Amino acid sequence: MTSDFFAENLLNWYDNHGRHNLPWHHNRNAYRVWVSEIMLQQTQVTTVIPYFQAFMERFPDVQSLAEAPGDDVLSYWSGLGYYARARNLQKAAQSVTADFGGQFPDTQEELETLTGIGRSTAAAIVAQAFGKRAAILDGNVKRVLARYHAVPGWPGQTSVLKQLWEHAEAHTPDERAQDYTQGIMDLGAMVCTRSRPACNDCPLQSGCTAYARAEISLYPGSKPKKAKPEKTTWMVILEDSEGRILLERRPPSGIWGGLWSLPELDPAYGADELQDACEQSLGFDCTEPELISGFRHTFSHYHLHIQPARLGVTGQNNVRDNAQHKWLHRDEALSLGLPAPIRTLLTHPAPHLSHTSTQERT
């Protein structure tokens, strides 16, 4: 089968069955396409839609994003995960404003110079916003091409990725770039799904090598599994006499980078040592701790066992508001960019939280 068969059948399917009414399809421009593409990395469309709509209302253009306080940007990203995306988004917006006069460049090469924009994202912007031919290769497209051509191996491997890019380039048509790129993403999301793909509804079925071999489940190859390490921490909800809670800003890079979180204490401390630990680490006296049910939070590369404890601050408060610390009432705290488990703890502070396992993109 030729690439003409692939593109023509895919476009015919898209015309009749694809998604034509997503929020970023309205008032389409490079800014809206770019924000949607960054949000859609590792995240499903249904999850992204409300975040995108709220983000656009607060930051309607690249200038407003570039000039906004960093905490505002993170607060509108809170719960979406992979928070480096939000920081990189603002850095790129500032570059567009400073280096390109507030106008997004319309070439893939220039777009790839912006923070957080790689080859596939740049191509998606070129195709979706400017209607130019550009081959994309996101997770959905990798799955479609790996099955169609029966490309063995995990797409994270350099040799496998190289083959998939070659196929992506070969199949991308010169015309209707906008529709083709949306169509192949839709096909992967709606038909050629990771599990239980709807092969009988696929416009490419007759040319699909994996289908012909009855080997759909073998493609794409899985990432080699490795046991995730387990870590533990105390997270303390410290409340002063005014009912305010102490929050600490996370370091700019790493897990939850730049977000506001609860102070953490060494897991080596026993529950009966938390009062002394607070005095030694934070410089003030506390009441006896009230333990809250612990839970496990799963990141992409390790499991974190969180043991929360609530303590009242007594005597003189030696920690003042500054760039790294804030004393806030709960409603004020919830307006900041908070990691999902911290938001849960502050929203439902009762000592009977369930021991559920959560997963978040870091």
pLDDT by residue, tens only, the chain of 362 residues: 345 899 999 999 999 999 999 999 999 999 999 999 999 998 999 999 999 999 999 999 999 999 999 999 999 998 898 899 999 999 999 999 999 999 999 999 999 999 999 999 999 999 999 999 999 999 999 999 999 999 999 999 999 999 999 999 999 999 999 999 999 999 999 999 999 999 999 999 999 999 999 999 999 999 888 888 999 999 999 999 889 999 999 988 888 988 999 999 999 999 889 999 988 887 778 899 999 888 899 988 899 999 999 999 987 666 666 778 999 999 999 999 899 899 988 987 554 433 333 334 33
Query: Helix H segments across the chain?
Result: 3-17, 30-40, 45-58, 62-67, 70-77, 84-99, 108-111, 119-130, 139-148, 158-171, 177-190, 209-212, 274-282, 330-333, 340-347
Report the percentage of the chain scoring pLDDT > 70: 93
* Residue 277: how many other CB atoms lie within 10 Å: 19
Q: Facing residues of 306 across strands?
A: 233, 295
Cis upstream peptide for 220 (omega within 30°): yes
Q: HSE (CB half, 13 Å, CA atoms) of 353?
A: 26
Q: Give the class (CATH, top level) of 3-218.
A: mainly alpha
* Catalytic residue flag (residue 37): yes
Angle subtended by helix axes 3-17 and 158-171, to nearest 10: 80
Question: Are residues 30 and 130 in contact, defined by beta-carbon separation less than 8 angstroms?
Answer: yes
Q: Facing residues of 308 across strands?
A: 235
Same fold, 3-218 and 230-359: no
* Residue 239: how many other CB atoms lie within 10 Å: 20
What's the pLDDT at 318? 61
Catalytic residue of the set 37, 109, 230, 264: 37
Compute the 3-state secondary structure of the chain and give helix, strand, coil in percent, each to the nearest 5.
45, 10, 40
What's the pLDDT at 235? 94
- What kind of architecture, by CATH, is found in domain 230-359? Alpha-Beta Complex (3.90)
Task: Determine the Cα–Cα distance for residues 253 and 111; give it in Å rounded to an integer.
Answer: 23
Question: Are residues 84 and 257 in contact, defined by beta-carbon separation less than 8 angstroms?
Answer: yes
User: Domain residues of the chain, as ranges?
Assistant: 3-218, 230-359
Question: Is the whole model's pTM more than 0.95, yes or no?
Answer: no
